[in-house]
Structure 1
């Protein structure tokens, strides 16, 4: 097997020595057999830069994932230890009161009630998902995405100047709802005003329906979360009354507290999930309705440029006494 001859550093200048050491980790290098040095091109190509950037992004995601997988068990143990910890006097911690359910067994030992705790954790998961989805919808349903004022003024200026091709090209490159409606409407110009009006109604209805469909999961979450909380409430009361029956009517208050605590905590988390979800649903729906109505009204103003004159004259003569 051929072994490469080591470079002779006595013949290499200090700056070249640095390049020799840096070249050990670089793949695209040329071996110079005359003086035994590794030469590295100081000007990377464009494709190499793209590959380096993509590799760095992949490495960054990999490192972030490894860090997340490392710290997730640590954070879980810390939170769990904090939840199970009790303060002086036997008072449960915040985690013990809100993040898991406990019940006392026949032997008087307090244990985790797993079914009630699973209901609580399910509601916690729904809460995180609901808040994340609400933030995503709040950033997606803004004026910039639906009816940007600057864009509407620019398109109106082009329509007033009868620059139809420029208006079509401008709306083709924009991704707002207003641009989509105007672009589809202008493409129907050869078919007449009525066809343009029908096309505008059809496209705007589809866009509004699509945005409402994206918001609807918040309404579903707001309706389902209290039902899950109510299910936990009923389950907790069943556990509480079961402890009364098991003790022959002389139940220990500690045994009753486990079921009642499950009932109250699941109700608490169910309401905590439902209130932001339903509130966000109402706010976003009203915002979308208002912005889409404004965009549709501006499109109707633009369509006045395409309205036949005979219709205008007939309407004017019809109102004249």
Structure 2
């Protein structure tokens, strides 16, 4: 592998850096976008059950916020319910703001991963073009006389860049699409959970009127 990288020349260096960054981003997103860290399955039901007797204390809200991303959104909703005193508009506004912030955090680094997936093939093609220019420039120096075997070998070496670019781009693109789908699914779960909480908090306030 080291000999291939050396033969491919300097244009492969950006691709190597892209591969390292892409791997780091994939690992980071895989650890972050886990169900237990974003939207635990039974969390909304537990929160609704606890709040039947009344709004929880500040310590309980802090524990809920530390539980997961969805827990943070629900905690903001409960805090807004206490401050708004049953005002549905203010409650929804606070929950929506917390939800937008949460989704923004879930999308962190996805644009960088998508950029690598798009740029890696072009970087590989650039390296191949640079290598071809160097090859034909060298072989055409002696009145156009060049060894066909050396020329073929040089072209194959130049194509290493294109191959490596695709090797970097394909997994990065697959990971980007996978994580994007997970973020969309989590966004839907958080939206549904927040709506259930709002309805749960608004009904008692409406009944007291």
Q: TM-score range by the shorter chain?
A: 0.7 to 0.9
Number of residue pairs matched? Answer: 202
* Correspondence for 1:162: 53
* Correspondent of 1:172 among 42, 52, 62: 62
Q: Residues 22-47 of structure 1: CA distance to partner in whole angstroms, max 9, x if unpaired?
A: xxxxxxxxxxxxxxxxxxxxxxxxxx
* Correspondence for 2:5: 99
> What secondary structure, in the 3-state scheme, does the structure 2 residue paired with 1:188 have?
helix
Note if contact 1:233-1:266 (Cα within 8 Å) is conserved in structure 2.
yes
Structure of greater Rg: 1
- The structure richer in helix per residue is 2
Deviation at 1:187, TM superposition (A): 1.6
Mapped to 1, the partners of 2:152 and 2:54 lie a distance apart of 75
> What secondary structure, in the 3-state scheme, does the structure 2 residue paired with 1:217 have?
helix
Deviation at 1:310, TM superposition (A): 9.9
* Correspondence for 1:185: 77
Q: CA 1:243 to 1:255, structure 2 compared with 1: closer, same or farther past 3 Å? A: farther
Moved over 6 A (4+): 309-312
* Correspondence for 1:198: 93
Q: Residues 111-168 of structure 1: CA distance to partner in whole angstroms, max 9, x if unpaired?
A: xxxxx42222442332233123201211111111110123333212113x233125x5
Note if contact 2:15-2:120 (Cα within 8 Å) is conserved in structure 1.
yes
Mapped to 1, the partners of 2:35 and 2:205 lie a distance apart of 37
Mapped to 1, the partners of 2:80 and 2:2 lie a distance apart of 62
* Correspondence for 2:147: 252
> What secondary structure, in the 3-state scheme, does the structure 1 residue paired with 2:42 have?
helix
Note if contact 1:222-1:273 (Cα within 8 Å) is conserved in structure 2.
yes
Mapped to 1, the partners of 2:61 and 2:204 lie a distance apart of 26
Higher relative contact order structure (alpha carbons within 8 Å, sequence separation ≥ 6): 2
Q: CA 1:248 to 1:154, structure 2 compared with 1: closer, same or farther past 3 Å? A: same
Note if contact 2:48-2:200 (Cα within 8 Å) is conserved in structure 1.
no
* Correspondence for 1:131: 23
> What secondary structure, in the 3-state scheme, does the structure 1 residue paired with 2:145 have?
coil
For structure 2, which runs of at least 5 residues remain unmatched after alignment?
none
Note if contact 2:120-2:165 (Cα within 8 Å) is conserved in structure 1.
yes
Q: CA 1:122 to 1:214, structure 2 compared with 1: closer, same or farther past 3 Å? A: closer
* Correspondence for 2:106: 211
1:1-321 paired onto structure 2 within 5 Å:
96=3, 98-101=4-7, 116-159=8-51, 161-166=52-57, 169-173=59-63, 174-189=66-81, 190-191=83-84, 192-307=87-202
Q: CA 1:121 to 1:310, structure 2 compared with 1: closer, same or farther past 3 Å? A: closer
Q: Residues 210-257 of structure 1: CA distance to partner in whole angstroms, max 9, x if unpaired?
A: 221322211111122122111101111112221342132331124323
Q: Residues 57-93 of structure 1: CA distance to partner in whole angstroms, max 9, x if unpaired?
A: xxxxxxxxxxxxxxxxxxxxxxxxxxxxxxxxxxxxx
- Give the superposed CA RMSD: 2.3
